Homo-oligomer: A and B are copies of this chain.
Amino acid sequence: MSNTRELYQQYQEEMAQLADVRFTGAVLQWDQETYLPAKGAEFRGRQLSTLSEIAHRMATSEKLGALLHELQGSDGLTPAEQKNVQLTWEDFSKQQKYPAAFVRQLSDAINKAFHAWMEARKANNFGVFEKDLDALLQLKKQEASLLGYTGHPYNALLNEYEKGATVEGIDRSFAAILPQLKNLLDRITSRPQVADAFLQKTYPKDKQWEWGMWLVQQLNYDLAAGRQDISEHPFSTSFNPQDVRITTRVDEQDFANMTWSTIHEVGHALYEQGLPTEGYGLPSGEACSYSIHESQSRLWENNVGRSRGFWQHFLPELKRYFPDQLGDIDLDTFYRGINKVQPSLIRTEADEITYHFHVAIRYELEKQLLDGSLATADIPAYWNEHYQKYLGITVPDDKRGCLQDVHWSHGSFGYFPTYSLGSFYAAQFYHAATEANAGLVSEIKNGNTANLLSWLREKVHASGRLHTSEELCTQVSSKALDASVFLHYLETKYQFIYGL
């Protein structure tokens, strides 16, 4: 028994040191996206590679392996501790499949691809990115082989982001939901369109920044355990639950982008700030999965942040920042405007319906890249063809087409589907929250989201990664993931907005 406790403490300390190295890498990446001077990129790249190599060595060390082996056979651990050990063992076994040289190779390739992507965006030319992307893709195929899979090679990569996800399952989900979304979209586009010209007015940068900083605090984002900065692409990142940072982008001509991407990143950050600090470095201190992470950002961005009730309180506040732009806009006009549905080019700016076509196109494309039925060089053609087919829009150039997302340049293939799953979970969790707490909706109408956050902290955040997404979903909402909750949410919402 006392030996078990000692071993468990050693395991905790090993994992905490591994977290130190990984979070250090995250600090370097945050700096890279916010404050790094132009010439600093070259050496920063190798510094990140070295850190990821060290992290890999630590995550696959004989010492950790021996500790996990011993702990798995030990009595005297609580169920949560057993689960930590078991999940770490799974991670350990997976990490063992990566040779150290491959880890460095991958890190270097990602660094190259990221900079090529930046250059390609500047040049508005996918061709500038193609070679480095293809090199990275070959490594990702190799990674799929190293990890092993049954069925489609893409399954191996999907599992990196969503444990248990398969091509078969996601195909089935999209097959079930896309026609219904298409149907809803068609009914909406046949109705008179809503006015949102007020969102296209000029909103001065400094006022947007002030408004954003005020808003994040209203949402109970703790600025003593985080901060907001400017980056080209908004993101959130965590170095521990006491230091969870968000970034935003401020465009005078695009007020909506700043506001809802800020609420989105706050959603991610509230999750990280709510993870148990005593689980630092352990599965119990980590987010459940990418889809559950996304459920938190989308719940705050959409279910709360695009709800009529929320703006009942916050529109008058917003008008104090922008009296000239919004003085004559009433609640329903505002609510309709911020929920306008319209097929468009950019995923991150898409409405709640068309968003999932953006995801589906990327998912299909990645699947085909992985099994070799699509060549890297053919990405732009595939992309443009499917935007026409699914959304009926013509992609004018690569920057607003297949160069718009950072993901591939980071080597993140298999990530996109979690965005759609996140929306489905968000709707289901929000529904469960309002079912369980009769007063919640009227609290939100008064600008008070504290109890909603407390509920999420208890139901979603507190258990870290000790359950799978599906297990957590069942615990939180008493049933498995059911996309019809999401569809029902959309139906109700757009019935009001478009008078369907």
Contact = CB atoms under 8 A, between A and B. Distances in A.
Interface of A: 16-17, 20-21, 23-24, 27-28, 31, 35-40, 42-44, 46-47, 49-51, 53-54, 222-227, 229, 239-240, 242-243, 245, 280
A243 B36 contact: yes
Number of copies: 2
Given A239-B47, A243-B43, A226 B37 contact: yes
Closest 3 CB pairs of A and B: A40-B243, A20-B50, A43-B240
A43 B242 contact: yes
Contacts of A27: 27-28, 31, 47
Contacts of A46: 16, 20
Contacts of A21: 50-51, 54
A50 B17 contact: yes
A133 to B, nearest CB: 26
Given A21-B54, A24-B28, A28-B24, A223 B47 contact: no
A24 B38 contact: no
B224 A44 contact: no
Contact of A240 (B17, B40, B224, B227): B40
29 contacts: A17-B50, A20-B46, A20-B49, A20-B50, A21-B51, A21-B54, A23-B43, A24-B47, A24-B51, A27-B27, A27-B31, A31-B31, A37-B224, A37-B225, A37-B243, A38-B224, A38-B225, A39-B222, A39-B242, A40-B225, A40-B240, A40-B242, A40-B243, A43-B240, A43-B242, A43-B280, A44-B243, A47-B239, A54-B54
A37 B223 contact: yes
A391 B32 CA distance: 47
A50 B243 CA distance: 18
Nearest to A21: B50
A227 B47 CA distance: 19
A322 B36 CA distance: 31
The listed residue with most B CB atoms (<10 A of its CB), out of A43, A44, A240, A280, is: A43
A339 B242 CA distance: 46
The A contact surface, by secondary structure, is helix
A23 B40 contact: no
Nearest to A17: B50
Nearest to A18: B50
Contacts of A49: 20
Contacts of A243: 36-37, 39-40, 43-44
A39 B225 contact: yes
Contacts of A37: 223-227, 242-243, 245
A11 to B, nearest CB: 16
B17 A239 contact: no
Contacts of A36: 243
A27 B307 CA distance: 41
Contact of A47 (B23, B44, B53, B224): B23
Contact of A44 (B16, B223, B229, B239): B239
A244 to B, nearest CB: 9
Nearest to A31: B27
A125 B332 CA distance: 58
Contacts of A222: 39
A225 to B, nearest CB: 4
A242 B42 contact: yes
A43 B23 CA distance: 10
